[in-house]
C-alpha cells in the first residue's frame, strides 16, 4: 500500500529563492511560481538574510514551492521554527493559503526596512560597486 505524502505550499522570499544560498534545501520541490504577498507585510534586512513581519504595508516578492513533509521539516530546522522564525499560514492572491516564515516584529526594532519588498533587488542595491 502506498502512503499518500502530504504536501505543503511554502512562500520563500530570501535565501531559499532560486539561485540563493539555501535554495539547495528545495531541490526536488515543485516550483508553483513567482508570488507576491498582499501589501500587509514588512521585509527587514537582518544582515545575511531578510525577515518578514506581518502588520506592515508592503507587498513582498518571492516564490512558492510545494514541499513534502521531510522537506518541510528541513526548512523548519533551517529557520529554527518556532524559536527564531515562526511558520505561519498566509494567503496569497494567486495561490491561496501557503506557509511562510514570519519573524516576531518586536525583535526587529532598529533593523532597516526593505522598501521594495524584494530581497534580490535589495542585495543588488547593497552591493558595493
How many residues does the structure list for the chain? 129
| Strand 61-68, strand 7-12: pairing | antiparallel
The catalytic position among 20, 79, 99, 106 is: 79
Contacts of 40 (CB under 8 A, 6+ apart): 54, 55, 56, 57
Start-to-end C-alpha separation, the chain: 58
The verdict on whether 79 is a catalytic residue reads yes
Q: Which helix (H) or strand (E) holds 10?
A: strand 7-12
- As a whole number of angstroms, the distance between CA 39 and CA 117 comes to 9
Cite the active site residues. Answer: 79
Amino acid at each position: 500500500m502506498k502512503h499518500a505524502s502530504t504536501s505543503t505550499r511554502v512562500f520563500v522570499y530570501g535565501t531559499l529563492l532560486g539561485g540563493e544560498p539555501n535554495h539547495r534545501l528545495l531541490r526536488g520541490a515543485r516550483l508553483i511560481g513567482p508570488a507576491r504577498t498582499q501589501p500587509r507585510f514588512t521585509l527587514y534586512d537582518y544582515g545575511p538574510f531578510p525577515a518578514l513581519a506581518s502588520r506592515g504595508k508592503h507587498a513582498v516578492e518571492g516564490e512558492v514551492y510545494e514541499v513534502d513533509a521531510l522537506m518541510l521539516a528541513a526548512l523548519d530546522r533551517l529557520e529554527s521554527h518556532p524559536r527564531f522564525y515562526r511558520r505561519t499560514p498566509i494567503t496569497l492572491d494567486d495561490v491561496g493559503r501557503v506557509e511562510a516564515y514570519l519573524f516576531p516584529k518586536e525583535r526587529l526594532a532598529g533593523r532597516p526596512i526593505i522598501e521594495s519588498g524584494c530581497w534580490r533587488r535589495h542585495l543588488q542595491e547593497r552591493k558595493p560597486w
